[in-house]
């Protein structure tokens, strides 16, 4: 039997880290078993439908490298299926119709008075209809499990196997929310964490049995690893810089920092130099002028060493070349700038 799993977010916007963990875990579960992942959009509850929410989720999944094999299947387009299931539940499953027209199974509403479907019914009907073999979701849904089993029987089916995983909580142990920052995939992306680092972090968490605390220090470590694993081309592209600038981007700890380094190297702001910067810059012009058009990092380091040996003001040189007092390693800046560009900047300063 082919393993079929589903990831079923409500379209509320960019995925929370915990939801992204569910997506990654479902993808991995399917991949390890030659199975299929269905993307289902749970949009029956108007309060949980946000304009652009589905697009944001699709963007997050693409960014994380989580592909799906079927879908998106939207619950809002499957009302007929749910109505049929409700009829079965009324005929032979022990459901009752209220005076106002709502259909209930015990305390639980399956269809509202206006005929719209609740998440409880829609989720169960879809898991049966889409032939889902394993439901993998956060443990916040554990309380639904028994109820879903009863609904499945009422509509004439058996619930698939259900696996609940621990939630990702904030570093303070509370439910992740906007207040924490770093809580959604969009926020992590904007912070400059490479997709590979976030994906590696979620893969590392796997299917946690108990709740875990978001470990930002670990994420940042993985970001540094992911950046050092990138080729010059990848890193430059991620920072929006030409590949020649790559040496200066190497030490960046995030892609936001890499973009900032790229800006320093590509379009520096003019800076105020100390009065006695002259001799350092003159010596630099001599050394750089006598070296090749492009420097290896070793050649660049040799120039920095010589300048230092004669008591050169390295901070002044950095200011002259980048307009800023801090940034990438000085040798990396030299390796990223052509000879002409470096000499022009030194002369202008």
Q: Which two tokens stand for residue 73?
A: 């299947």
- Scanning residues 157 to 186, which ones bind ligand GLU (CB under 6 A)? none
Q: Tell which one of 5, 8, 132, 241 touches ligand GLU (CB under 6 A).
A: 8
Mapped onto helix, strand or coil, the DSSP state of residue 178 is helix
Contact predicate 182/138, CB 8 Å: no
| DSSP codes of every residue in 291-328 | S-SS--HHHHHHHHHHHHHTT--HHHHHHHHHSSSSSS
Q: Which of 14, 123, 184, 254 binds ligand GLU (CB under 6 A)?
A: 123
Alpha carbons within 13 A on the beta-carbon side of 90:
16
At its nearest, how many Å lie between ligand GLU and the CB of residue 137? 4
Specify the residue, 4 or 137, whose C-beta has the smaller distance to ligand GLU: 137
User: To the nearest whole angstrom, how small is the minimum distance from the Cβ of residue 173 to ligand GLU?
Assistant: 21
Query: Does residue 53 touch ligand GLU according to CB under 6 A?
Result: no
The total of other beta-carbon atoms located within 10 Å of residue 125's CB is 26
Element (H, E) at 128: helix 119-129
Applying CB under 6 A, among 78, 104, 141, 164 the residue interacting with ligand GLU is 141
Do 176 and 183 touch, CB atoms closer than 8 A?
yes
136, β-bridge pairs:
163
Paired sense of beta strands 96-97 and 103-105, if any: antiparallel
Q: Which is nearer to ligand GLU, 10 or 254 (CB)?
A: 10
The strand pairing partners of 184, in sequence order, are 16
Among 18, 25, 38, 42, binds ligand GLU (CB under 6 A): 42
Q: Which stretch binds ligand GLU (CB under 6 A): 2-10, 85-93, 268-276, 283-291?
A: 2-10
- Residue 117 engages ligand GLU in binding (rule: CB under 6 A): no
Residue 61 Cβ vs ligand GLU, minimum distance, rounded to whole Å = 14
Structure tokens given for 8: 């079923």
Q: Is residue 120 a contact residue for ligand GLU (CB under 6 A)?
A: no
Query: C-beta of 144: minimal distance to ligand GLU in Å?
Result: 7
Q: Which stretch binds ligand GLU (CB under 6 A): 6-14, 61-69, 294-302, 314-322?
A: 6-14
Q: How far is the CB of 199 from ligand GLU (least distance, A)?
A: 20
Asked if residue 9 binds ligand GLU (CB under 6 A), the reply is: yes
State the CB neighbour count (10 A cutoff) for residue 177: 11
Write out the residues near ligand GLU by the rule CB under 6 A: 8-10, 42, 123, 137, 141
């Amino acid at each position: 039997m082919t393993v079929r799993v589903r990831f079923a977010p409500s379209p509320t916007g960019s995925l929370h880290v915990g939801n992204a963990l569910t997506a990654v875990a479902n993808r991995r579960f399917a991949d390890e078993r030659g199975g299929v992942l269905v993307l289902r959009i749970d949009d029956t509850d108007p309060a949980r439908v946000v304009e652009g929410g589905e697009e944001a989720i699709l963007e997050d999944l693409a960014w994380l490298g989580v592909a799906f094999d079927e879908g998106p299947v939207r619950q809002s387009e499957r009302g007929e299926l749910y109505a049929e299931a409700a009829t079965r539940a009324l005929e032979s499953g022990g459901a009752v119709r209220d005076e106002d027209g709502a259909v209930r199974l015990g305390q639980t509403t399956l269809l509202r008075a206006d005929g719209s479907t609740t998440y409880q019914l829609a989720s169960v009907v879809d898991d049966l209809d889409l032939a889902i073999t394993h439901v993998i979701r956060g443990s916040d849904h554990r309380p639904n499990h028994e109820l879903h089993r009863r609904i499945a029987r009422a509509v004439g089916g058996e619930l698939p196997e259900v696996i609940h995983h621990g939630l990702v909580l904030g570093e303070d142990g509370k439910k992740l929310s906007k207040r924490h920052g770093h809580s959604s995939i969009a926020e992590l992306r904007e912070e400059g964490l490479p997709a590979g680092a976030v994906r590696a972090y979620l893969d590392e968490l796997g299917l946690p049995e108990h709740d875990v605390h978001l470990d930002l220090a670990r994420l940042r470590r993985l970001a540094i690893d992911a950046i050092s694993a990138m080729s010059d081309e990848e890193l430059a592209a991620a920072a929006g810089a030409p590949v020649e600038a790559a040496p200066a981007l190497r030490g960046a700890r995030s892609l936001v920092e890499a973009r900032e380094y790229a800006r320093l190297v590509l379009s520096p702001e003019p800076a105020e130099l100390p009065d006695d910067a002259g001799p350092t810059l003159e010596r630099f012009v001599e050394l750089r002028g006598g070296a090749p058009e492009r420097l290896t990092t070793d050649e660049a380091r040799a120039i920095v060493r010589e300048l230092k040996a004669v008591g050169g003001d390295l901070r002044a040189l950095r200011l002259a070349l980048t307009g800023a007092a801090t940034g990438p390693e000085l040798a990396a800046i030299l390796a990223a700038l052509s000879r002409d560009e470096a000499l022009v900047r030194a002369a202008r300063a």
